[in-house]
Chain A
Amino acid sequence: MAGESGGECNRTNAFVVSARKRTMQKVAKKAGESMLFAVASFVAVIVLFIFYFVARDAVPFFQIRGFTEFFTSSNWYPADDPGEFGALAIIYGSLMVTFGSALIAVPMGVAAAICLSDILPFSIRQYAKPVIEMLAAIPSVAFGFFALVVLAPLLQNNGGPMLMWAWWILVSPFMLLTVIVLSDLLTAKIIEPKRRQQMHIFLLILFSFLSIFMLFKVGTVLYGIQILSGTNALNVSIILSFMALPTIVSVSEDALQAVGRDIREGSYALGATRAETILKTVLPAGSSGILAAVILGIMRALGETMVVWMASGNSSQIPEPWFNYLQSIRTLTATIAGDMGEADQVTGSARFHVLFAMGLLLLVISFVSNLISERIVVRQRKILSGQ
């Protein structure tokens, strides 16, 4: 494109412009182009600089303290003399809230993306998109403030009942579905219609009782839970999931849109319902794009600072037992944000450099996952266009 138009210009100008002027023009064009290139490569320079400057202050920590303590000990006493810099509990805290938020955000986000790309008519989609954009636009500190001032007291005072209601509302529809499908599947083999119907009804009633019993049992257990501190991993996971949702929804919606109409129509032509089409053909075809979306969303949760700093409780411990989301935790980002002010920048103590080591860890994780998600997207595009 560039060569073509340039050539045309030169040919038309050749009659009126002197040779010298022409070379001048060429030089100017090259200079302009290389200036544009310089500006565009500025981004790459910044990325290199970020890696260099974070690593420059991170390396001294590993020189002083080695790798073992940082990754295997959970004794975090940076202010002591000599300090202890075991970041295991902090790394675990980061992973814990990231996993927790992914657990909420991934199913919801993918369901919402499917809904936006395949189910809702255009007129409603127009109103749904701004909602997602607004959710993405709300500053993280506002979410953090909400988590600290509204959600944390709620959890602390009415934690048990809230958990029970959440359990009931979220699980009972799925329970109902499971009962229907299970009884249907189990009776499918019976050929005689009358017996099959009897068996079907019997199984429906049996499973309903079983599931209601289970709902009640777990519900009462949840009702009895007392949350000692509202600023805990659960609170943070919920808020982070809402911050990761917009990314997951918009990127996976793009991935689903990229799956062509022909695949969908082929499935419909074979007699599949819409749900079957989406679950069995569209989702597998778009799965790599959705994976990329999930990675990007998770990275948003892992890299988030303000919410975890304000609402995670900031206690550097591995919860007891390890999956207890109702205890306070501490994350990498919150530690960096909170300790930098107290660390001595001038003398460059281990306490200062350990924060950069954490930053480097975050940076490397985000870099690797970005590369992976990018490769996935490129590969999916190739496969889909090849078909």
Chain B
Amino acid sequence: MNIGTRKILDRSFTAVGIGSIVVMAVALMIVVVPIITNGIGAVFFTGTVEHRKMLFSEFKRGDSENLSSEVASSDRYRAKVYGMLTGFEAELETMAPEKKAEYKAKYSEVKAALQALLGPFPGDPAPMLTRFKYGQTRWEKAEEKLHDLLYESKWDNSNPDVMAKEYFVSRAIGFQGTSLVKLFPYVKDNMEKLLLPEFTFYWGFITDSSVDSHFFGGIWPEIQGTFFLAVGAMLFAFPLGVVAAVYFTEYARPGFLNSMLRSANSTLAGVPSIVFGMFGLAFFINTLKVSESKSVIAGALTLAIMILPTIIRAAEEAILAVPKTYREASLSLGSTKWNTIATVILPAALPGIITGGIISLGRAAGETAPIIFTAAVSVGSAIGLADVFSSPTPALSWNIYNLASEHEAAAQIRHVQYGMVLALVSIVLMLNLSAIVLRARISKKLKG
């Protein structure tokens, strides 16, 4: 090869390497940016009067005078809508039977769309489920529902070779010549007066518990559950891990037994997380019977086993990073080996050990598979500290899965899901960032 080609190859080799790091950074951005932008929408959004109604009656929050004046003003505009409906119902009675049947079907669709937008009609019995007690609480959802009201969606199956395409037909055309035709432009033009949108900062998303399986309300039970599980796991794993690391670094003599223990450690680190879940079910719940069925304690123990190898490794590294001179100085002053470890080595290694602990805490908070069979439940309220030995808990990681994949109306509560993911990701990344900062400070300190 001539020298030019070799140079080009060399440059492109560098480019491939840098490119792959850039791709990783971009991938991180692509994953994190939608989570952040959509997740913030769970807390900051344009809320309608329905949101304030919901807050007042479910959580007893808000200014009742202000709210009642708002409700009164929106009811003035709503009354006209309901008037049109009753007018059309009267008109319907006078129609010829076949025409009546045709309009009735269409009319019930319109009614359903209006109900989804504005909440139950006055005079109707109160719905059983809280989700139907209110209209759209969020402005962007209200606009979607408005679209549903104005247009009927149809599917184009004319070409069998490609997938059916959705298209929209205006509902107003279907009601041409009846009194209801005025309803559609009226609702469209008076949306703001009907729903009174207002910029809302809903801090309750963090501190409230959920209402009617996350249709309204916040994610406090999940945050608390994640906190209990992660901290519980640390309580078991951290002391064990540090002691084991002390043994491995200070006392273990090279040999068959030691290499077996080390192999066990790396095997444990490589066990798939779902297998930890199965083990937790088979051992802690079915054999040891730490609790009747799923419980926080069983989940915390399972998570503790999972993070133990990470903690041991981090603590070992931190202890080995303590300069030899510290140890020798302490020993030369006549202190015993145990004394040296407890008063010199461990304090010097502590920041490093804590860094490893923080990273493991983040891992325990984010892991889902081990708690599926041992601790997690889909719907539930926040549990007290006394209940950790007997009752399961909702947790962020599990409920993200549950709301996104198994919830009956997953597509309607995307904002809650995004909010939960953002909460979990920011908890974990915050922990990791603090670990990174801490480690940078340690390495500066050790360098002197």
Chain A residues with a Cβ under 8 A of chain B: 2, 5-6, 8-9, 12, 29, 32-33, 36-37, 39-44, 46-47, 49-50, 53-54, 56-57, 107-109, 111-112, 114-116, 119-120, 128, 130-135, 137-146, 148-150, 173, 177, 180-181, 184-185, 188, 226, 228, 242, 245, 249, 273-276, 278-279, 296, 299, 302-306, 309-310, 333, 336-337, 340-341, 345, 355-356, 359, 362-363, 366-367, 369-371, 374
In the complex, which residues of chain B have a beta carbon less than 8 angstroms from the beta carbon of A116?
A: 21
Q: Are B9 and A273 in contact (CB under 8 A)?
A: yes
CB distance from B210 to the nearest CB of A (A): 18
Q: Are B404 and A173 in contact (CB under 8 A)?
A: no
Q: Which of B18, B244, B283, B400 is close to A43, meaning CB atoms less than 8 Å apart?
A: B244
Could you tell me the distance between the alpha carbons of A184 and B261 in the complex, rounded to whole angstroms? 55
Q: Are A333 and B274 in contact (CB under 8 A)?
A: yes
B51-59, B126-134, B368-376, B383-391 - the one binding chain A: B368-376
Could you tell me the distance between the alpha carbons of A259 and B425 in the complex, rounded to whole angstroms? 36
In the complex, which residues of chain A have a beta carbon less than 8 angstroms from the beta carbon of B362?
A: 137
In the complex, which residues of chain A have a beta carbon less than 8 angstroms from the beta carbon of B266?
A: 370, 374
Size of the B side of the interface (Cβ < 8 Å), in residues, is 99
Could you tell me the distance between the alpha carbons of A273 and B428 in the complex, rounded to whole angstroms? 42
Q: Are B16 and A148 in contact (CB under 8 A)?
A: no
Chain B residues with a Cβ under 8 A of chain A: 1-2, 5-10, 12-21, 23-25, 27-28, 31-32, 34-35, 162-163, 240, 243-244, 246-248, 250-253, 260-261, 263-279, 281-283, 286-287, 305, 308-309, 312, 331, 334, 336-338, 359, 362-363, 365-369, 372-373, 397-398, 400-401, 404-405, 414, 417, 421, 424-425, 428-429, 431-433, 436
Q: Are B272 and A306 in contact (CB under 8 A)?
A: no
Q: Are A177 and B9 in contact (CB under 8 A)?
A: yes
Q: Are A36 and B247 in contact (CB under 8 A)?
A: yes
Q: Are B270 and A359 in contact (CB under 8 A)?
A: no
Q: Are B5 and A140 in contact (CB under 8 A)?
A: no
Q: Are B279 and A49 in contact (CB under 8 A)?
A: yes
Knowing A114-B17, A340-B372 are in contact, say whether A369-B268 is a contact too (CB < 8 A).
no
Q: Are A305 and B28 in contact (CB under 8 A)?
A: no
Task: Tell me what chain A mostly uses at the interface: helix, strand, loop, or mixed.
Answer: helix
Knowing A39-B247, A53-B287 are in contact, say whether A180-B268 is a contact too (CB < 8 A).
no
Q: Which of A44, A296, A367 is close to B260, meaning CB atoms less than 8 Å apart?
A: A44
Q: Are A362 and B275 in contact (CB under 8 A)?
A: yes
Q: Are A111 and B27 in contact (CB under 8 A)?
A: no
Could you tell me the distance between the alpha carbons of A306 and B396 in the complex, rounded to whole angstroms? 13
Could you tell me the distance between the alpha carbons of A107 and B17 in the complex, rounded to whole angstroms? 10
In the complex, which residues of chain B have a beta carbon less than 8 angstroms from the beta carbon of A56?
A: 282
Q: Are B240 and A39 in contact (CB under 8 A)?
A: yes
Q: Are B1 and A50 in contact (CB under 8 A)?
A: no
Q: Are A134 and B270 in contact (CB under 8 A)?
A: no
Q: Are B265 and A43 in contact (CB under 8 A)?
A: yes
Q: Are A50 and B279 in contact (CB under 8 A)?
A: yes
Q: Which of B7, B404, B405 is close to A273, meaning CB atoms less than 8 Å apart?
A: B7
12 residue pairs from A and B, CB less than 8 Å apart? A39-B240, A40-B248, A137-B432, A139-B425, A141-B424, A145-B401, A149-B404, A150-B34, A276-B6, A279-B13, A359-B274, A374-B263
